[in-house]
Amino acid sequence: MKLHEYQSKQIFAKYGIPVPKGRVAATAKEARAIAEELGGRVVVKAQVLVGGRGKAGGVRLAKDPKEAEEVASAILGMEIKGLPVRKVLVDPAANIEHEIYLGITNDRAARRPVFMASAAGGVDIEEVARTTPEKIIKVHIDPLLGLRDYQANDIALGIDLPREYWKQFGDICRGLYRAYTECDATLAEINPLVILKEKSLSALDGKMLLDDNALFRHPDLAEMRDVDEEAPAETEARKHDLSFIKLDGNIGCMVNGAGLAMTTMDIVKLYGGEPANFLDIGGGASAEKVAAALRIILSDKNVKAILFNVFGGITRCDEVAKGILAALAEVKPNIPMVVRLVGTNAEEGRKLLADAKMITAETLAEAAQKAVAAAKAAA
């Protein structure tokens, strides 16, 4: 789950990290009021869950409250990479002397958290990692020990931070590490962390990604999810405990198991079709779940055919077939459907579906070819 900049910075502030004292606004009028309160120049920043908003014109300076209102009005009408801007953050403008990158994330290969820092902040860190990796220093943290003070010093030393800032920098590192662990983040990033002309550090921008699997122990953070920023079908799928990702093709896929679901998409493509989605209905595949999944797939008007691919293991195919029949009775789709049932009780399952006017297939390759042909005929 992604957090907005303003949400991430609210969390940072709780952990003692200095952040600008701005606030978020949903209208230009509110933005003006915040600018009046703050006094002086402000920066108005689009709050959207995609990168590259600066380049898209979503971050602009304003010299007074009147200009803040104008700028906010322009930004609030924008779309950035297809996402409408619904909120802006109004922060006091900072007097920047130098920009630093500081972040912590999970290093999957090392199986440890890793701090990353660079004296070249404010830029796309992935780009820096690709082009000049020597400009990024990495410090791995023992997950049982946590961040040690010497490691914070190592980071400061690694980016040639002037010694007068080491103490404050150490506190920021410790705060960031606590925010990362206590919120179960997969990324906590300050970019840029700036040295102000006033000779102190400030987290000008912040980003946090949270581990969806850990939200059960963070009900307060789970509430911060911005459902306006995701595809409605994905929100609906989450409600039914379905794993769903919308794609651009026209063949809807309904599969049990994540690996098999990806494989089904791949094989559709291999035979010249385009998958409309990734969908894992999980182990049980009850009628309710299948019905919910069908409705979600059919809510995409591009879908011209549906491919059901079910491997019956512990789940018996006849049970799944009953689920499909009940779902069809409820949803009544009028597009071609190809079904492949394999494994435990596949024969019984196929018999049950014989009257349902579904196209049946024995192998994965055959199922994919039939689905591709059906979609082409319907398009």
Partner 1 sequence: MSILVNKDTRLIVQGITGNEGLFHTQQMLAYGTKVVGGTRPGKGGEWVLDGKVPVFDSCKSAVNATGANCSIIFVSAKFAPDAIYEAADAGIPFIVCITEGIPVQDMMRVREYLDQKGTRLLGPNCPGLLTPGEAKVGIIPGNIAIPGNVGVVSRSGTLTYEVLYALKLQGMGASTCVGIGGDPINGTNFIDVLEMFERDPQTEKVVLIGEIGGTDEEKAAEFIRTKMTKPVVSFIAGQTAPPGKRMGHAGAIIEGGSGTAADKIKALEAAGVKVAKHPEEIPSLLK
Residues assigned a catalytic role:
101, 189
Contacts of 377 (CB under 8 A, 6+ apart): 336
Contacts of 62 (CB under 8 A, 6+ apart): 35, 41, 42, 43, 44, 68, 70, 71
- Give the integer Cα–Cα distance in Å for 241 and 228: 19
Q: Does 342 contact partner 1 by CB under 8 A?
A: yes
Q: Does 216 contact partner 1 by CB under 8 A?
A: yes
Q: Does 301 contact partner 1 by CB under 8 A?
A: no
Number of alpha carbons in the 13 Å side-chain half-sphere of residue 296 = 31
* Number of shown-chain residues binding partner 1 (CB under 8 A): 51
Nearest to 160 by CA among 114, 103, 120, 113: 120
Which one of 16-24, 210-218, 318-326, 331-339 is the stretch in contact with partner 1 (CB under 8 A)?
A: 210-218
Q: Does 241 contact partner 1 by CB under 8 A?
A: no
Tokens of 37: 């309160």
Residues 247-266 that bind partner 1 (CB under 8 A): 247, 255-263, 265-266
Which one of 10-18, 207-215, 321-329, 371-379 is the stretch in contact with partner 1 (CB under 8 A)?
A: 207-215
User: DSSP letter at 94?
Assistant: P
Tokens of 64: 């007074």
Characterize the bridge pairing of strands 83-84 and 88-92.
Answer: unpaired
Angle at 112 between CA 106 and CA 116, to 5 degrees: 60
Q: Does 181 contact partner 1 by CB under 8 A?
A: yes
- With contact defined as beta carbons under 8 Å apart, do 38 and 75 qualify? no
Q: Does 275 contact partner 1 by CB under 8 A?
A: yes
Among residues 217, 239, 301, 357, the one that binds partner 1 under rule CB under 8 A: 217
Tokens of 7: 């949400």
Q: State in angstroms the smallest separation of the CB of 164 from partner 1.
A: 34
Q: State in angstroms the smallest separation of the CB of 216 from partner 1.
A: 6
Q: Does 356 contact partner 1 by CB under 8 A?
A: no
The residue among 36 and 230 lying less far from partner 1, judged by its C-beta, is: 230
Q: Does 365 contact partner 1 by CB under 8 A?
A: yes
Residues at the interface with partner 1 (CB under 8 A): 106, 108-109, 111-113, 126, 129-130, 142-144, 181, 184, 186, 211-214, 216-217, 243, 245, 247, 255-263, 265-270, 275, 278, 280, 311, 313-314, 342-344, 363-365
